[in-house]
Amino acid sequence: MTGTPVSRIDLRFDDNRLLPPLYGQHDTHLARIENQLGVTLISRGNVLTISGSPDSADAARTVINALYGRLKNGLAVEPADVDAALRMTTRVLDAGDRDAALAHISRPDLGIRTRKRTPISARSPTQARYLDALNANELVFGLGPAGTGKTYLAVAQAVSMLVQGQVDRIILSRPAVEAGERLGFLPGDLREKVDPYLRPLYDALHDMMPAEQVEKRLASGEIEVAPLAFMRGRTLANAYVILDEAQNTTPMQMKMFLTRLGENGRMAITGDVTQIDLPAGQRSGLKDAIEILQGVPGVAFVHFTEADVVRHPLVARIVRAYDDHDRPAP
């Protein structure tokens, strides 16, 4: 009886200066890869030896080469980048999809450039497809659970196009319907009532740009954050328009919003059809749009799952547990 075959791979690096950030402080990046893939990594000088099952060793080589390529292109390697490379390598993908996804890790030209020092890059295979869709299409639907980066990446794309002069303004919108609350029940004037619903969009903006830039552009109208009701009757030309939490629109609201798109405009619509807060019996406009717009040229749909959650690892487990609980028994 033969044991499990063990593969040994030697990786030789041509720039020793990049090895400390590649391995991580106290080799924490290597430990992360060992734990996830079940391999052993031993470094001697500029050689890193990988030992493990053939599939695991090959996956480790792919991850390490992608991270080394990232460093050679002048980008930092953080724990989140290691997790992203692992996620892209261990997901069930064919070789072409895997290589295309990993390219987003190591190539700065594929990332989204905002006011941050380094480009924002994909952290899952689906995020890589989403970024490609945002670049190629006038209207993109990002669909799936919380924590997958749907809205964050759409805002990043909008900010990138604004600072590069490709659009004149950004308009961020949400329906003011959340978990059974209504605006009339909340204290304060209209802005005070509306701001809590729009806070996640403000948070994303402040991640992309310095605070003073955000405030300046909000004051000038280059960036507008408004509830969905404020979109009626407008034509949004030369603008990047994002509708977040779109599962809480009615079919009439969704049609109204989609027909606001003007010349040289882009739209991203994000939502999760499993988290609808509309009154019982009210159909979601997002569900309608998914059915009606299939196959329309210039429209792309990107579906995320719990495997794409890039927040705290516990979030993915929570989403998976809820999905399992809601799934009908066989």
Paired with 44 in beta bridges are 47
Q: Are residues 12 and 134 in the same domain?
A: no
Total domains in the chain come to 2
Q: Are residues 173 and 203 in the same domain?
A: yes
The verdict on residue 230 lying in a domain is yes
- Over 80: is that where the pLDDT of 165 sits? yes
Decide if 236 contacts 262 (C-beta within 8 A): yes
Of the residues 108, 135, 150, the one at which a domain ends: 108
- Which has more pLDDT, 206 or 28? 28
Q: Are residues 277 and 174 in the same domain?
A: yes
Summarize pLDDT for 270-300 with one digit per residue, the tens. Answer: 999 988 888 888 899 999 999 999 999 999 9
**Whole-number pLDDT of residue 179:** 39
Least confident window among 130-144, 198-212, 309-323: 309-323
Paired with 226 in beta bridges are 173
Structural tokens at position 227? 């509830």
**Whole-number pLDDT of residue 317:** 74
**Whole-number pLDDT of residue 193:** 46
Q: Are residues 317 and 190 in the same domain?
A: yes
Q: List CB contacts of 282: < 8 A, sequence separation 6 or more.
A: 250
- Which has more pLDDT, 248 or 316? 248
Q: Is 21 exposed, middle or buried (0-12, 13-18, 19+ CB in 10 A)?
A: middle
pLDDT band at 185 (very low <50, low <70, confident <90, very high): very low
Summarize pLDDT for 26-59 with one digit per residue, the tens. Answer: 999 999 999 989 999 999 999 999 999 998 999 9
- Over 70: is that where the pLDDT of 13 sits? yes
pTM of the predicted structure, to 2 decimals: 0.79
CATH number at residue 248: 3.40.50.300
Q: Please give the Cα distance from 61 to 39 (Å, whole number).
A: 10
- Once rounded to an integer, what is the mean pLDDT over residues 134-141? 95
- Once rounded to an integer, what is the mean pLDDT over residues 303-316? 76
**Whole-number pLDDT of residue 195:** 58
Q: Are residues 163 and 47 in the same domain?
A: no
pLDDT band at 21 (very low <50, low <70, confident <90, very high): very high
Q: Are residues 273 and 127 in the same domain?
A: yes
Q: Are residues 128 and 54 in the same domain?
A: no
Least confident window among 188-202, 221-235, 313-327: 188-202
Q: Please give the Cα distance from 182 to 151 (Å, whole number).
A: 23
| DSSP 8-state symbol, 119 | -
Q: Are residues 164 and 291 in the same domain?
A: yes
The verdict on residue 161 lying in a domain is yes
**Whole-number pLDDT of residue 189:** 43
Q: Are residues 88 and 152 in the same domain?
A: no
Summarize pLDDT for 239-266 with one digit per residue, the tens. Answer: 999 999 999 999 999 999 999 999 999 9
**Percent above pLDDT 70 for the chain:** 86
The verdict on residue 247 lying in a domain is yes
The verdict on residue 159 lying in a domain is yes
**Whole-number pLDDT of residue 191:** 46
Summarize pLDDT for 90-109 with one digit per residue, the tens. Answer: 775 455 567 777 787 777 66
Decide if 165 contacts 184 (C-beta within 8 A): no
Boundaries of domain holding 163 = 122-326
Q: Are residues 262 and 169 in the same domain?
A: yes
**Percent above pLDDT 90 for the chain:** 47
Q: Are residues 142 and 221 in the same domain?
A: yes
Q: Please give the Cα distance from 276 to 284 (Å, whole number).
A: 7
